[in-house]
Amino acid sequence: MKKKMKHITGPILILILALFQVAPALARSDYFIQAEIEAQLAESEELRGTKIEVHVEQRLVVLSGTGRLYEQKLIGERIAWTTPGVSEVDNEIKVVPTLPMSDAAIEWKTKEIVKFNVRLNAAGIVVVVKNGVVTIQGSFSEISDLVFLKHEVAKIEGVVDIRVTGGGITRSSIDKL
């Protein structure tokens, strides 16, 4: 009889331990999630000077406010997504450049990034910029190449959004990266 109890309690014990590992993320209150995200945003060196507000309801995080670089918008979203207990993130952060740059200058800087990174040369990248929105089209062999390019372009002052078309990689597949 004791042998049967050992075999029964093993799987039950594993199930109980698994629940304790998952339960904290699920049981986190909106208030706690919001406080944790706000603390991480405040600690981030890259987000100095931004005015980002956080609202959480039923584990859905809404980010609003302003940042000067598109990169700051991406960092804020990454912080929210990596916070335990978050089920969805709506990133409404507006990019308001301090020193707006012309579309031609943004396009030139983006093409320079492509030109000087050998791994991007074979992708056949086409860049179009209109009103600070950078549209990138190409055939990327690795999603990491596209993610790299997106994050480098996000550092350019004046970029307010980045859109990706073509190559079988969609915007939604890289937004969380």
Quick check: 92 pLDDT over 90?
A: yes
What are residue 62's phi and psi, to 5 degrees? -115, 120
Quick check: 76 pLDDT over 50?
A: yes
Does 148 lie in the same domain as 167? yes
Does 132 lie in the same domain as 112? yes
Tell me the two tokens of residue 169.
């990689």
CA end-to-end distance (rounded Å), the chain:
53
Report pLDDT for 139.
87
Q: Is residue 128 part of a domain?
A: yes
**Final residue in a domain of this structure, among 79, 95, 111:** 95
pLDDT in tens, 119-154: 888 888 999 999 999 999 988 888 888 899 999 999
Q: Is residue 67 part of a domain?
A: yes
- Greatest alpha-carbon span in the chain: 80
Q: Domain residues for 50?
A: 28-95
Does 79 lie in the same domain as 47? yes
pLDDT in tens, 16-49: 545 555 545 445 799 999 999 999 999 999 999 9
Does 86 lie in the same domain as 47? yes
**What is 59-107 written as a DSSP string?**
TEEEEEEEESSHHHHHHHHHHHHTSTT--EEEE-PEE--SS---HHHHH
CATH number, domain with residue 71: 3.30.1340.30
**Final residue in a domain of this structure, among 76, 95, 114:** 95
